[in-house]
Amino acid sequence: NLSQRLMTVAQYVKSGSRLADIGSDHGYLPIYLAKTGQVSFAIAGEVALGPLSNAEHEIKVAGLSDIIMPRLADGLAAIEPTDNIDTITIAGMGGGLITRILEQGRAKLTNLPDLILQPNVDAIDLRKWLVNNHYQIANENILKEDAHIYEVIHATRADRPVQYSPLELMFGPHLIVNQNTAFVEKWQGKIKRLRTAITQMQSAKVPPIQRIANLNDEINTIQEVLDNAR
């Protein structure tokens, strides 16, 4: 049974795709997609030997060795030109690491494959990279599972340059206009953590006035975004 998180990633994979799942770990995502017939070919890329052998085992047990190729590689180095990959998934890592993998693998992105990304944190870095690299954000989702909140970004080739406002980059251009309960919970939690940080700073011998002001600005920004949706 696939997690809700990976199911959300899976829902953006077009039927008949040729997929590279980077940082595949146990390979559950490509295995699920091969079973549903959404992928006709997939690479399960892994940088670490332990997870790679987990993936190899799971793929064999599922009888999918003809469709899913486990490969030991750093990031997009798992992709060969002859694979004709049209979709890349990268899930369960920080936004900074996902951004680094995309940046270092830019040579593998010349045909602008669909990207379905699930950053655990720092989605803003990823959105900035996407708009600077010929992508638009076609869909987004945010969900809560096992007390964690996850964002999923589906980026597709931008036919003309797109621009997002600072608020759209921070909150997500789709998520901000269609605020669900997970979105509200995420940002209310952020406000709470910022308030705690401010309280701690205020109790310092010499309170850092400028930093406190910056955090207060951030709280006000978030509060306005949440209020505007009501």
Distances in Å between the Cα of 83 and the Cα atoms of 7, 20, 69 are: 24, 9, 10
- The reply to whether 91 sits near ligand SAM by the rule CB under 6 A is yes
Candidates 30, 70, 92, 105; binder of ligand SAM (CB under 6 A) is 92
Is residue 58 a contact point for ligand SAM (CB under 6 A)?
Answer: no
> Is 101 one of the binding residues for ligand SAM (CB under 6 A)?
yes
Asked whether 71 and 48 are in contact (CB, 8 A), the reply is no
φ and ψ of 89, to 5 deg: -115, 135
Site membership for ligand SAM, residue 48 (CB under 6 A): yes
Site string (27-46) toward ligand SAM, x via CB under 6 A: ------------------xx
- In this chain, which stretch among 30-38, 90-98, 151-159, 182-190 interacts with ligand SAM, using CB under 6 A? 90-98
**Binding characters for ligand SAM, 62-81, by CB under 6 A (x = yes):** ------------xx------
How far is 15 from 13, CA to CA, in rounded Å?
7
Count Cα neighbours of 101 within 13 Å in the Cβ-side half-sphere.
Answer: 28
- Give the binding range for ligand SAM (CB under 6 A) out of 23-31, 132-140, 149-157, 173-181: 23-31
Handedness of CA 154, 38, 33, 102 (dihedral sign): negative
Q: Residue 123 Cβ, how far from ligand SAM at the closest point, in Å?
A: 15
DSSP summary character for residue 150:
E
| 93 in contact with ligand SAM (CB under 6 A) | yes
Q: Which of 113, 110, 111 is nearest to 22 (CA)?
A: 113
Please name which of 182, 178, 192 lies closest in space to residue 222, comparing C-alpha atoms. 192
Q: Is 23 in the site for ligand SAM (CB under 6 A)?
A: yes
Question: Where do contacts with ligand SAM occur on this chain (CB under 6 A)?
Answer: 6, 22-25, 45-48, 51, 74-75, 91-93, 101
